[in-house]
Structure 1
Amino acid sequence: MTDAFALHVPTAELEPDPLDPAQIVSGSPEVSGLVLDESAGQVRGIWQITPGVVTDVEADEVFTVLSGRATVVVDGGPTLELGPGDCGVLRAGDRTTWTVHETLRKVYAITL
């Protein structure tokens, strides 16, 4: 566990986290992120993706979108329209397709 801290999320410097090319459906999306804390079976951090279309298999996650817009289609489930201020919940094993319209930045907590 680390000491308490605060960070201005909109301007936080993120590290590149390259996508598996098999996940890219269209465009040239780039992902970056920053893990803020890992403890007690959870990972908390900041994640960002630039425009494009990608697929993913999700973990148990709750997140809040800070900026940008995306449409997330959950196979066999709902279509999520995400924008600033929206909170989302994804479940482990959800197969998703993310269509990112504007660079999206979110803060998240994943339960392992």
Structure 2
Amino acid sequence: MTSNSLRASHHQASRLGLPHQEIESEQQLAGQPAATVGLMELGTLDDAEIGVWEMSVGAMADIENDEWFVVLSGQATVQILEAGGFAAQEIELAPGSVVRLHQGMETRWTVTQTLRKIYFAR
């Protein structure tokens, strides 16, 4: 392989068109507007997937993977439930927030302004 055969990857993460899908019925929260989510995997680094994820205004429940993420745009609150050895916690998300979630955390996401993040997950 010559030194000219490798190219850098470049993406405008804030401008990517992410087709949205409705969340699964088991992720919907009673009495809350159902959200939609979109994602695009950009690649991998060792055993980590890197991508862009977006959630519309609304709420959803989730069980997390090991993940780091950086919020690009939007406003939200993620509530971590006291379960599985994890302490209860509430995190306000805004552009620039950097968050670490752990495998098995039970969360509740409430988005008040469409949230877009770059994630690094296993």
TM-score by length of 2: 0.84
List gaps (5 residues or longer) in structure 1.
Answer: none
The yes-or-no answer on 1:81 pairing with 2:92 is yes
Aligned to 1:94: 105
1:42 is displaced (CA, Å) by 1.1
Aligned to 1:50: 56
- Percent identity reads 32
Q: Which has the larger radius of gyration?
A: 2
2:53 maps to amino acid: W
1:9 maps to amino acid: A
1:39 is displaced (CA, Å) by 4.6
TM-score by length of 1: 0.91
Specify whether residues 17 and 43 from structure 1 end up closer, same or farther in structure 2 by C-alpha distance, changes over 3 A only: farther
RMSD (CA atoms) = 1.5
1:31 is displaced (CA, Å) by 0.3
Aligned to 1:5: 9
Q: Distance in 1 between matches of 2:40 and 2:71?
A: 15
1:55 is displaced (CA, Å) by 0.2
